[in-house]
Amino acid sequence: MATLNTPPRPVTEITDRQEIANRPSANLEHVSLIGLSDAELASELTNLGVSQHQLRMRIAQLKRWIYVHGATTADPMTDVSKDLRNLLDNHTTLARPPIVSEQVSRDGTRKWLLRLAGDGTSNRAPEVETVYIPETDRGTLCISSQVGCTLSCTFCHTGTQRLVRNLTSGEIIGQILLARDKLGDWPGAERPTDGLIPDGERAITNIVLMGMGEPLYNFDSVKQAMLIAADGDGQSVSKRRITLSTSGIVPQIPRWGDEAGTMLAISLHAVRDVLRDELVPINRKWPIAALLEACRNYPGLSNAKRITFEYVMLKGINDSLAEAKELVRLLAGIPAKINLIPFNPWPGSPYECSDWEQIERFAEVVNKAGYASPVRTPRGRDIMAACGQLKSASTRLRASERRAGDAEAPA
């Protein structure tokens, strides 16, 4: 809890919008090869004239250069013919999303604000945030799946920003590649010297879909990206080290388990429907009982593969000991971990974080029921990088555009 009451020290910030505008990544004529499925890579390579019998070999080579070595151009791809390398450089790109700003917290947490391509309907490009949280034995990358969110959980900063658009698979994987670039997390690359990076071979050992957006409302792109993240020819991050957090899009939960099979976290936050309806309004559609039923049936669930239940501690709202007891009663029989998240305030937020003594008392009830170390230490609060503080300044949509965005979400 060291970050709770200590004033933030100055942060590093790099902002050069003109430089970003001049980068080659702004060239939309180049097709990005990041985040493509094998079939999509095959189609791009065929367009460049690669013959059918060479496709498999070329796809394997490309994936190795992109995801194992972190290539940003075709230049280092020494086992690819010079002609094909020229074609790749002239017609495709491996550019990362441009960084609008980078901040490093006093606790070593890093936050990048990234610029994405606009759809031409607005003169401001959409932006998303990616956060890196280092610990001594692991490094967790928290990635975004949407610009904004269609849901409006009352305690969440992202929830105050309307959905602008879903991220593509390339933009989701691009966040990982960019973080690995910045952390020197490629073979032979140099690690940054400012801030903590865990010991061990990899700076990023875990991925959590806990940034901006509701990942199950962008199912296909998030799935394609996470399959590449887990693939041995991709980022090779084990599915046990990838966690998708959802506010409770019940029909998509079994599908995610079957088709992607990562770890799951549920933003529960309340033990009664009346309160959850208010805090997490999607509860009006899929109430607590339906959500827990989907959890009980989550494919592959076992004591070794538990669901994490997230519970944000809101002073006087959901933090009574009666609620703590009800929480453990509700979760009985589900292989579960409980994560109590001290509420992270943001400008204008309508709640306060529970008192630390109350969090401890609540945690004790949870502990006694057999759940270990349930309180999550807030990280990166001084740079607004903690859970629920992410919000980019992307343009708000007009009402008509917003309705179109809402319609994309499987209802």
Tokens of 237: 């991050």
Residue whose CB is less far from ligand SF4, 98 or 159: 159
Residue whose CB is less far from ligand SF4, 11 or 341: 341
Does 172 help bind ligand SF4 (rule: CB under 6 A)? no
The site for ligand SAH (CB under 6 A) is made up of 155-156, 210, 214, 245-247, 267, 310, 312, 341, 343-344, 387-388
Does 327 help bind ligand SF4 (rule: CB under 6 A)? no
The Cα–Cα gap between 149 and 103 comes to 23
Residue whose CB is less far from ligand SAH, 70 or 374: 374
For 346, half-sphere exposure in the C-beta direction (CA atoms, 13 angstrom radius) is: 19
Please choose, out of 35-43, 117-125, 148-156, 368-376, the segment that lies near ligand SF4 by the rule CB under 6 A: 148-156
120: alpha, beta or left, given left = phi > 0 and alpha = psi -120 to 50?
left
CA-nearest of 145, 294, 287 to 214 is: 145
Residue whose CB is less far from ligand SAH, 155 or 219: 155
Which one-letter DSSP state was computed for residue 194? S
Among 50, 99, 128, 153, binds ligand SF4 (CB under 6 A): 153
Pick from ligand SAH, ligand SF4, none: which does 343 bind, CB < 5 to 8 A by kind? ligand SAH
The Cα–Cα gap between 271 and 328 comes to 10
Residue 270, classed as helix, strand or coil, is coil
Go through 331-355 and write b for each residue having 16 or more CB atoms within 10 A of its CB, e for each that does not: beebebbbbbbbbbbbeebebebbe
* Total residues found in the chain within this entry: 411
Residue whose CB is less far from ligand SAH, 105 or 247: 247
H or E stretch including 82?
Answer: helix 82-91
Pick from ligand SF4, ligand SAH, none: which does 344 bind, CB < 5 to 8 A by kind? ligand SAH
**Contact, 130 vs 211, CB < 8 A?**
yes
Tokens of 211: 């940034």
CB of 369 to ligand SAH, least distance (A): 20
Among 169, 205, 221, 247, binds ligand SF4 (CB under 6 A): 247
CA-nearest of 269, 272, 292 to 362 is: 269
Pick from ligand SF4, ligand SAH, none: which does 144 bind, CB < 5 to 8 A by kind? none
Does 105 help bind ligand SF4 (rule: CB under 6 A)? no
What residues does 112 pair with on adjacent strands? 102, 130
Residue with tokens 């972190």: 70
**Contact, 383 vs 148, CB < 8 A?**
no
Does 341 help bind ligand SF4 (rule: CB under 6 A)? no
Does 234 help bind ligand SF4 (rule: CB under 6 A)? no
CB of 310 to ligand SF4, least distance (A): 9
Contact pattern for ligand SF4 over residues 206 through 225, marking x by CB under 6 A: -------xx-----------
Residue whose CB is less far from ligand SF4, 129 or 214: 214
Which positions are catalytic?
A: 129, 387
The residues near 241 (Cβ < 8 Å, ≥ 6 apart) are: 205, 206, 207, 263
Pick from ligand SF4, ligand SAH, none: which does 170 bind, CB < 5 to 8 A by kind? none
Residue nearest to ligand SF4 (CB): 159
- The one-letter amino acid code at 111 reads K
Pick from ligand SF4, ligand SAH, none: which does 382 bind, CB < 5 to 8 A by kind? none
Does 161 help bind ligand SF4 (rule: CB under 6 A)? no
Q: Given the rule CB under 6 A, which residues bind ligand SF4?
A: 149, 151-153, 156, 158-159, 213-214, 247, 267
